Amino acid sequence: MKNINNKISGAEAVIRSLIEENVDLIYGYPGGAIMPIYDELYKFQEKINHVLTRHEQGATHAAQGFSRVSGKVGVVMATSGPGATNLVTGIADAQIDSTPMVCITGQVASHLLGSDAFQETDIIGISTPVTKWNCQVTKAKDIPKILAKAFYIAKSGRPGPVLIDITKDAQFELMDYKYEKCHSVRSYKPVPDYSIEQIKNASKLINEAKKPFIVFGQGVILGDAENEFKDLIEKTGIPSAWTILGLSALPTDHYLNVGMVGMHGNYGPNVLTNECDLLIAIGMRFDDRVTGNLESYAKQAKIIHMEIDPAEIDKNVESDVAVLGNIKDTIPLLSSMVNKNSHKEWLEKFNNFYDIEFKKVINDEINPTKEGLTMAEVIKEINNSTKGDAIIVTDVGQHQMVTCRYAKFNKSKSNVTSGGLGTMGFALPAALGAKMGAPEREVVAVIGDGGYQMTIQELGTIFQTGSAVKIVVLNNNFLGMVRQWQEMFFDKRYASTELVNPDFVTIAKGYYIEAEKVSERKKLKNAVNKMIKSKKPYFLEVTIEKENNVFPMIPTGASVSEIRLE
């Protein structure tokens, strides 16, 4: 909307500002309070692709998947009231998993604020605890400046989601448009200064250590420091384990990659956490699923914590040396100060524990002799078919833990999952976003039958966009992880966890997606290969053992060294 003075509307200013930030993809769902922005978006279709998801939550998860594999800021739009509140789960997920996202919501006209108008909700108040920053805009002239600030905050330092709420009258109001990218915000310092002295202290501890151990998280990926990290561990010879979000930062088959830490992690990394003399945490936050009982976590070890967010230092685990700053900068400095080393005997201990775990757990999972199919053998076939080059997106539950344990990754940004919030329903829309963020790569969504049905409507978005997402539903007719806990800790009282499922294949075909169901081992390999070779969206349902448990497991409240193999 322009007038003779070349002014533009606030709505057009939103779209022009997005273009200035190099946004070419938006996920969203229109409605009354954001209709002026959508009307302007219609005029800029050649520059910005809008994907109409089937639910606003699906839009946030799709934006997360897009961001996680592309490294760009995910962008979401929704209307006021229920449209805005439907974003909250995805925003909370992005906040705890440090995913940069800008959400733009419409709001009722400013003179109606606080009047309980139709579809009015205080989304600023609601989203404050789960956003890195949020802001309500009531004047068109403020739109460019606020959006520039939003993108800067979302992607700088430790990334996170930002929400901008724009009243309807601000969208219609005319303004003189000028856009300047934001490069700083008063009182906000996204990357703390590093201390050379602390890096020297860290190098001294590493050079003196006999049994050093690294646990690395998503910070390595977010910091684009995969090569620097690999150089460090290869110089020092330090065994390195990953958190669930750190997975794929280091190739799975790297000789110093000793597996996953945490509740369903590998045997050795968990037990030996309480035997190392130096624990080096890089880009991770000592989540409770990683540490188990903090009273008995690595008490014998010196702790080095390398982190971009000062709030994480000493929050859960007290460090002896804290190295603040972007690890893209600090790891090379540390590497230059440490001695070349190898810890062959110490590394061999990890390998010995793996041999024990293989005999007691892994072999029976990936090479089962029992009749029913296991989740692990499905992942094994996906590995064989994709050669470790695929992006694998998981939902939340047993299948997530099994996939993280057994999937092979050669490239970074290949593991997309809901880590901190544990959001069921994440995987299907996130896989769509991942495929759109990396269209040249194979994207496989591995989902449980419970979480799948939380966002199953996004099959419609996949069909409409034609995105060649491969969807694998591991169906055991249970909410599997909850059922496992009920079996182990609640005397097999399976309260509200058994599912009576629909015909998933028929549903997929109803969305014009090719589909197949497999329940026999002899048919699994060909079915997986057929799915991977397809150039279109594809759905594969695999019937798996109904009451299979995921081991190893650290019971809640137990020490990492009390990990159970059965």
The CATH number linked to 235 is 3.40.50.1220
The residue length of the chain stands at: 566
Question: Do 469 and 399 fall into the same domain?
Answer: yes
400 is catalytic: no
Question: Do 98 and 206 fall into the same domain?
Answer: no
**1 pLDDT higher than 90:** no
Of 375, 454, 481, 553, which residue is the catalytic one? 481
Task: Flag whether 549 is in a domain.
Answer: no
**85 pLDDT higher than 90:** yes
Task: Flag whether 553 is in a domain.
Answer: no
Task: Flag whether 89 is in a domain.
Answer: yes
Task: Flag whether 154 is in a domain.
Answer: yes
Question: Do 381 and 523 fall into the same domain?
Answer: yes
Q: 77 with 26: CB under 8 angstroms?
A: yes
Question: Do 128 and 169 fall into the same domain?
Answer: yes
Please report, for the domain that includes residue 539, its CATH number: 3.40.50.970
> Does the N-terminal peptide bond of residue 552 adopt cis geometry, omega within 30 degrees of 0?
yes
Q: Stretch 402-406: mean pLDDT, rounded?
A: 96
Largest CA distance in the chain: 78
In the chain, the number of structural domains is 3
43 is catalytic: no
CA dist., res. 237 & res. 546, Å (int): 42
Of 56, 120, 226, 312, which residue is the catalytic one? 56
- Provide DSSP, 69-85: HH-SPEEEEE-STHHHH
Task: Flag whether 365 is in a domain.
Answer: no
Task: Flag whether 559 is in a domain.
Answer: no
Cα-Cα-Cα-Cα dihedral of 299, 302, 305, 310, to 10°? 70
**65 pLDDT higher than 50:** yes
- Mean pLDDT computed over every residue of the chain: 96
481 is catalytic: yes
Confidence band for 2, pLDDT divided at 50, 70 and 90? very low
- Taking only the tens place, the pLDDT of each residue in 483-522 is 888 888 888 898 988 889 999 999 999 999 999 999 999 9
Q: Stretch 200-227: mean pLDDT, rounded?
A: 98
Task: Flag whether 501 is in a domain.
Answer: yes
371 is catalytic: no
Question: Do 289 and 323 fall into the same domain?
Answer: yes
Question: Do 398 and 447 fall into the same domain?
Answer: yes
Distance of CA 169 to the CA centre of its chain: 36
Q: What pLDDT is stored for residue 492 in this prediction? A: 86
Question: Do 265 and 123 fall into the same domain?
Answer: no
Question: Do 20 and 102 fall into the same domain?
Answer: yes
pTM for this model (two decimals): 0.96
- Taking only the tens place, the pLDDT of each residue in 169-179 is 999 999 999 99
Question: Do 337 and 483 fall into the same domain?
Answer: no
Of 1, 35, 119, 516, which residue is the catalytic one? 119
Q: 316 with 217: CB under 8 angstroms?
A: no
Domain that holds residue 538: 373-543
Give the torsion sign (CA, 508, 509, 512, 513).
positive
Q: What pLDDT is stored for residue 5 in this prediction? A: 66
Q: What pLDDT is stored for residue 548 in this prediction? A: 85
Question: Do 130 and 278 fall into the same domain?
Answer: no
- Taking only the tens place, the pLDDT of each residue in 362-399 is 999 999 988 899 999 999 999 999 999 999 999 999 99
21 is catalytic: no
CA dist., res. 442 & res. 146, Å (int): 37
Q: Stretch 127-153: mean pLDDT, rounded?
A: 98
Q: What pLDDT is stored for residue 496 in this prediction? A: 85
Task: Flag whether 116 is in a domain.
Answer: yes
Of 132, 149, 155, 168, which residue is the catalytic one? 168
Question: Do 240 and 321 fall into the same domain?
Answer: yes
DSSP type of residue 98: T
Question: Do 112 and 218 fall into the same domain?
Answer: no
**465 pLDDT higher than 50:** yes
DSSP type of residue 213: E
**347 pLDDT higher than 70:** yes
